[in-house]
Structure 1
Amino acid sequence: MGRHLKQRRRPTVAPGVVLGSLLVVGVSALVAGLALTTRDGSPATVAQSCPTALRVVTAASFAPVLAGVAPTLAEGADCVRLDVTVADGRTAAGRVAELAADVWIPDDAGWAGNPGPARLAAAPAAGAGTVLAESPFYLVTDRATAARVIDAGGGWLGLAKLVTGPAADPVRLAVRDPAASGDGMLGAGAFGEAVWVESGMDASAEALAAALPRTRTLDGDAAALPETSGEVGLVPEYALLPVSAKVRDEGAAVLAPRDHTAALRYSWLPGAAAAADPVRAAALDRVAAALTGPAGDGPLAQAGLRRPGGGPPSGAEGLPAVHAPLFDVLGPHHVDHVLASWYAADRRSDVLVAVDVSGSMQARAPGSDRKLIDVVRDGIGGLASLLPDDSQLTLWRFGSRLDGERDFDPVLRGTTLDGEGRAAVSRAVRELDPLDTGTGLHDTILAAYEAARDSARPDVPSHVVVFTDGRNEADQPTISLEQLGQRLVAAKDPQRPVELTVVAFGGQPQAPEIKALAKALEPVDGYLDALRTADEVKAAFIHAAAGGIHE
């Protein structure tokens, strides 16, 4: 670009100041039916004319809509006053619980997948889950980079390949802080989701990890507009409309992705207590009717938001049409992928890795000219590099009767990943040499699960990753798959939960032995990850670092 598309950030509202400019509402409307709270919880103003009040927590980008319907709600004997608290991002659910809010309207339904202590009504009670508005994402960049994206398919998946590929001149991203808003969470989430849909969750975790060093993450409320050539901003429509003239003046290109549409879904999420109370439920119904009916049309348009499935708001005439099908709402695991990729603290966990050292690990890994054991060594190193310093890593090797009757042998006991700890991991990984032995898989899975449970630290997630390229062969005595499932159930402790992943290399996901092993892991929500190529091994270990849980 000839000039940078750098937008001046909006000023932060000081505690105690009425959010007049942000909420586009006058004093008369505030007094009629709306009390506002700034993001730190300070009261902005107090309205007293209507005795029925609802506590609402909402995103900053939706608060103007509530202000817009406040005069309508203030009318009549069944009037409703809204006490509104603005809270965005991952902390909003906590504010819902803290305030015992009657309704939460986040900027995306994905935030509701893990509400924490917030007690929300289950759909369809009180309209729970209704999408009130949407705001689709666009890709904003310079014209040369736009041409590269179009040549790559013009969508999220093509963008992901340009960002994560080995090109000497990679495309870079600009995105708002994913923890602070749906803009950032869903922008980064859509990037990862395109890869997930195409290649699965391990590949998605790997793509997000690869994209992070090539991403500029913006704090504050400013739209994530590109600043340099080769950078693509991920911007929802509501944030793009106020600066669209500037974007055009700068000669930038705006693309509507062709493969999928990522759209913020502003969702109506009543509290369980409010939905069960006849008086508050009636008030909720009135507010919901105002937001979904004609009274909400003007405020939604002024906020730059669309009705679900509707056309663009006024001012969007110069933007490309949005036609691609919507991504599904991001599930909790998908959101966790994004947050764990961006924030090392989210990756904090204690991980026990057990590696098969049977003779077949000497073989060349499909898709590579390297031995499988070397690929696994690199995967463990990558896992250790992604875990934060206060995580712990334990490393076992296993085969058939490696230590007397025992099939496993600790190579590295639980080690904190500080500087010396990481060096110890590197030394231990080099000791993983294949041996002339079979695969003592069943006994090792059980022992690793029990060991992780017994060593679990309070408030630190515990995860077991067992890597094997064989079946439970040449191992006598051994427990059967049925016994494995039964003993895992007996070992399960809700106070010390353990995530269990078995990575099976070289097996077909639908092969009878793979399906049987997966079934044995089900009682403890264990996951079997069947891999076929060397590249998938690296992705599986990255996925373990990015939360490691499954759906």
Structure 2
Amino acid sequence: MGRHSLPDQYGAGGSDPRRRARRRTVAIATVLVLAVAGGTAAAVRGGLLSFGSSCQDDPVRLTLAVSPDLAPALETAAAQARDDDLTSDGRCVAVTVSPRESYKVADALLAGENPGAQVWVPDSEVWLERLSTDGDTADVSTVGHVASTPVGVAMVPTAAKSLGWPEKSYAWLELAGAALRDDSLRLGAADPARSATGLLALTRLSAASAGIEGGDTQAAGMMKALSQRVTDSDGQVLDTLPRDSSGTEQGNPKRNQALVVSEQTAHVYNSAADGEGDGLDFFYPKDGSPRLDYPYTLLTQTGLTTDESRAAIRFMSYLRDARQLRLLERHGFRTSEEDVSDALVSRAGGSSPQPYTKAPVRPASAVALQETLGVWTITVQSARITTVVDASASMSETVPGTGRSRMDVTKAALLQALSTFTAEDEIGLWDFSTKLDGDKDYRVRVPTQRLGDREGAGTQRERLSAAFGGLEPVPDGATGLYDTTLAAYRAATGSYAEGKFNALVVLTDGVNEDPGSISRADLLARLERLADPQRPVPLIMIAVGPDADREEANRIAAATGGSGHEVTDPAQIQTVILKAIVNAASPDRRG
């Protein structure tokens, strides 16, 4: 097989500098620990050291929470480690492997719960990025990667042959487009909110669509179509394939002929299908496959002792032994990016000239992942969102380094955000200052309606685009924040739309400056009375610029079950809105 390695630049790509620095520190420590542990083990086996009893008498016990696809291989490796009397500092290493869906462990860590394991091996760095972007509440350290597997599209043979497999190759958009154009070629995937495979593929689709005219609309359409055929998790997606060998299963529209899965998933399916009919054929997109990379992560916040930490690193070293690498390959995983096994690819349904040896694409950034997941959330569920924009005089101030005012940059960000919504979404616009409409600090610029609705010659989307473009700061206008927030929240809760994600987004670059308004204490009390957990309308309050108060934004939003955010540059508004939508729309977060 040649040199076995999983390149650091792939696993680390897209991480923030703090984590990269932490990994470098851990890597140095790992080398030292492995040198000691390896030398000790060699000395024990060679009889140079004697402990007077079996190392099994007092083992270091470790529980590994492992992605279910990798768990069978690591269970076998753990059993072999016991048979080999694998030791760390003279004590046996007793490893228990607990198959756990990666999103469930991430949810537990974000909630501050103990996942019941000292080591976590999720299927992707995506979950570690989530810990970081959602508050960095978990103390984790990645000390290597166990294996990898590329993500592509597997199809039943009849469907694959109709697309010219294996000679013809496709980019991600072409593959998705082919499946979504033809109802006889149904494409399924796991929910990107719970599946790294689904999220990585969706992010590739979003990135590809961004470079073409009308790409945002095309991507939203694809997401909407794909959302009709998602399963809750990776473990269920294979169950949506036809049961008959012809790949048609006529009369059952719930069955998919194509799936977004990993190479390893296809490998396992085809291995089990031997002698029972045709397996799957695998397309490797020519514009690059993202990888699941299985980071081996120490959960130091669970009270990991020094002995457990050293034993965990020792077991990671054991997994890099030649015998364990062969074990991983038999289970369909890649252990080298430089030397790809043709036999593994063939078993997974790949074949030349499909570009299965193509180098992996660089991992998507945390921002790209978050934006994709935000667009997915609002596309799948549909949304009813009223946006309330500060039009006080301070919005005319220049954003450093841009030459544009806060209002101009805000308008551009809102127009960009608008493009991510579909015709089914309901969006409206208010602006506010002081005494903007008689004695009222606010006015309704565009009532909240479905974007596809048409009145006269234009659609709601066109009316909103014009209204966003027409926003202007009010000369000498102050910030009438409290009265506006209460009025807008009362309107949003009073017009709640069942079956949609309802929210109120308030953008302000300052604090309340209306002396005649209600007090903050009164505002909070009234918001709490209006908020109904059975009909949730989270307030997403975004503090824009150096004069805004993030602490106050948090306090006001929290009264509704929403969230406060701060952006120094209004250009960040779209990303913040999408992130807030993901957090607020997640049923796991809402409890």
TM, length-normalised to structure 1: 0.58
Partner of 1:316: 345
Would the alpha carbon gap of residues 108 and 431 (structure 1) be closer, same or farther in structure 2, given more than 3 Å must change? closer
Distance 1:331 1:177 in 2: 19
TM-aligned CA deviation for residue 213 of structure 1: 5.1
Say if 1:214 and 1:71 are closer, same or farther in 2 by CA, change over 3 A.
closer
1:327 aligns with 2:372: no
For 1:396, the equivalent position in structure 2 comes to 430
Shift of 1:169: 6.3
Aligned residue type for 1:147: G
Contact 1:105 1:269 in 2 (8 A): yes
Match for residue 267 of structure 1?
A: 295
CA distance in 1, matches of 2:308, 2:282: 44
Which residue number in structure 2 is paired with residue 98 of structure 1?
114
Cα-to-partner distance string for 1:306-360 (whole Å, 9 max, x where unaligned): 114154455433523513332333445544534762688987786425599xxxx
Partner of 1:485: 545
Paired residue type of 2:568: P
Within 2, Cα distance between the matches of 1:258 and 1:490?
A: 45
SS at match of 2:361: coil
Instruction: Find the aligned partners of 1:203 and 1:430 in 2 and give their Cα distance.
Output: 12
Change (3 A) 1:63 1:234: same
SS in 1 for 2:357: coil
Change (3 A) 1:548 1:292: same
Deviations 1:424-459 (A, max 9, x none): x99996996979x97424789976799559977999
1:279 paired residue number: 307
Aligned mates of 2:116, 2:384 — CA distance in 1: 31
Of 449-458 and 255-264, the range deviating more from structure 2: 449-458
Query: Is residue 333 of structure 2 the alignment partner of residue 288 of structure 1?
Result: no
Indicate if the aligned counterparts of 1:500 and 1:526 stay in contact, CA closer than 8 A.
Answer: no
Amino acid paired to 2:505: H
| Contact 1:208/1:338 (8 A) holds in 2 | no
- Is the CA contact 1:354–1:448 (under 8 Å) kept in the aligned structure 2? no
Letter in 2 for 1:146: L
Match of 2:129 in 1: 113
Indicate how the Cα distance of structure 1 residues 305 and 256 shifts in structure 2: closer, same or farther if over 3 A, else same: same
Among 112, 136, 139, which residue is 2:153 paired with? 139
Distance in structure 2 (CA, Å) of the matches to 1:445 and 1:323: 61
State the alpha-carbon separation in 2 of the partners of residues 404 and 528 from structure 1: 30
Do 1:69 and 1:295's aligned partners in 2 also have CA atoms closer than 8 Å? no
- When residues 394 and 197 of structure 1 are mapped into structure 2, their CA distance, relative to the original with a 3 A threshold, is closer
Letter in structure 2 aligned against 1:270:
L
Q: Which amino acid aligns with 2:331?
A: A
Per-residue deviation, 1:300: 0.9
1:523 has 2:546 as partner: no
The alignment of Structure 1 onto Structure 2 pairs a total of residues equal to: 420
Native 8 Å contact 1:177 1:218 kept in 2: yes
Map 1:5-44 to 2 at 5 A.
none
Letter in 2 for 1:280: E
Any conservation in 2 of the 1:157–1:195 contact (CA below 8 Å)? Answer: yes
Moved more, 293-302 or 185-194: 185-194
Q: Aligned-pair distance for 1:113? A: 1.5
Aligned mates of 2:474, 2:165 — CA distance in 1: 49
Q: CA deviation at 1:233?
A: 1.9
Instruction: State the match for 1:365 in structure 2.
Output: none
AA matched with 1:79: C
The question of whether the paired residues in 2 share the 8 Å contact of 1:407 and 1:440 is answered with no
* 1:301-450 alignment, distance < 5 Å: 301-312=329-340, 314-317=343-346, 319-320=350-351, 321-336=355-370, 337-338=372-373, 341=376, 351-352=386-387, 385-386=424-425, 395-396=429-430, 403=437, 409-410=443-444, 439-441=471-473
| 1:119-130 mapped onto 2 (5 Å cutoff) | 120-121=138-139, 128=142, 130=144
Q: How far apart are the structure 1 equivalents of 2:261 and 2:151?
A: 5
Question: What whole-Å deviation, never above 9, does each CA across 1:129-175 have from its counterpart, x for those lacking one?
Answer: 52221111232231454239987x612132244456xx576964122
1:258 is matched with 286
Distance in 2 between the 1:185 and 1:490 partners?
Answer: 30
Cα distance change on mapping 1:190 and 1:172 into 2, 3 Å: farther
> Which residue identity lines up with residue 135 of structure 1 in the other structure?
T
5+ long unaligned stretches in structure 2: 1-55, 249-255, 392-414, 494-500, 509-542, 586-591
- Which residue identity does 1:352 align to in structure 2? T
CA distance 1:156–1:98, change in 2 (3 Å): same
- Equivalent residue, structure 2, for 1:80: 93
Distance in 1 (CA, whole Å) between partners of 2:418 and 2:303 is 49
- 1:463 equivalent to 2:491? Answer no
Q: 1:212 Cα shift?
A: 2.4
Taking the aligned partners of 1:222 and 1:168, their CA distance within structure 2 comes to 20
- With over 3 angstroms needed to count, the CA separation of the structure-2 counterparts of 1:184 and 1:256, relative to structure 1, is same
1:272 deviation in Å?
2.7
User: How far, CA to CA, are the matches of 1:93 and 1:58 in structure 2?
Assistant: 12
Q: TM-score, normalised by structure 2?
A: 0.55
The one-letter code sitting in structure 1 at the alignment partner of 2:76 is: G
| SS across alignment from 2:287 | coil
1:138–1:256 Cα contact (<8 Å) kept: yes
**What is the CA-CA distance between 1:50 and the residue it aligns to?**
4.6
SS of the equivalent of 2:289 reads coil
Kindly indicate whether the alpha-carbon contact (under 8 Å) linking 1:212 and 1:342 is maintained by their aligned counterparts in 2. Answer: no
Q: Distance in 1 between matches of 2:478 and 2:166?
A: 45
> Which residue, out of 66, 87, 91, partners 2:74?
66
Tell me: CA distance 1:451–1:83, structure 2 relative to 1, closer, same or farther (3 Å): farther
Let me know the Cα RMSD of the aligned residues: 5.6
Q: Please show how residues 141-180 of structure 1 align to structure 2 within 5 Å.
A: 141=155, 142-147=159-164, 154-162=170-178, 172-180=186-194
C-alpha contact 1:137 1:187 (8 A) present in aligned 2: yes
Moved more, 315-324 or 302-311: 315-324
Contact (CA 8 Å) 2:149, 2:334: kept in 1 or not? yes
Tell which deviates more after alignment, 314-323 or 215-224: 215-224
Q: 1:394 to 1:450 in 2, by over 3 A?
A: farther
Amino acid at match of 1:440: E
Distance (Å, rounded) in 1 between the aligned partners of 2:214 and 2:323:
43
Correspondence for 2:258 among 216, 232, 248 = 232
Cα distance, 1:91 vs structure 2: 1.4
